[in-house]
Chain A
Amino acid sequence: MFSLNQRFQTVINAAITYAIFIIFLIITLFHFQLYVENNITETVKVNNLNIIKPILNLRTSRMFGGSGKFPKENLRIKFDLNTDLSPLFTWNTKQVFVYLTGAYNSTSTSSSEVTFWDKIITDKKNADLDLHAVMGKYSVWDKQNGFSNKDLQLKLHWNIQPFVGNLIFGEAVMSNSGDILHIPAKEQKTNGTA
Chain B
Amino acid sequence: MSFSEWLQELSNKMIFPIDLPSQKYTNRVTHKLLFLSSIISVVLGIIYDSMKTLLYFYGASVLICLILVVPAYPSYNENKLKWVERGSNGKSNNLGKSNIEIAG
A contact residues vs B (CB 8 Å cutoff): 1-5, 7-8, 10-11, 14-15, 18-19, 21-22, 25-26, 29, 33, 90-92, 163-164
Contacts and interface: CB of A to CB of B under 8 A. Distances in A.
Contacts of A92: 51
A19 B58 contact: yes
Given A4-B15, A11-B69, A18-B38, A29 B31 contact: no
A3 B27 CA distance: 13
Contact of A14 (B30, B42, B50): B30
A11 B38 contact: no
A35 to B, nearest CB: 15
Contacts of B62: 11, 15
A33 B11 CA distance: 50
Contacts of A3: 14-17
A2 B69 contact: no
B58 A8 contact: no
Interface residues of B, number: 35
B26 A4 contact: no
Contact of B26 (A7, A25, A90, A163): A7
A117 to B, nearest CB: 29
27 contacts: A1-B27, A1-B69, A2-B15, A3-B17, A4-B16, A4-B72, A5-B15, A7-B69, A10-B30, A10-B69, A11-B66, A11-B69, A14-B30, A14-B31, A14-B34, A15-B65, A18-B34, A18-B35, A18-B37, A19-B38, A25-B38, A26-B42, A26-B45, A26-B54, A91-B46, A91-B49, A163-B51
B60 to A, nearest CB: 12
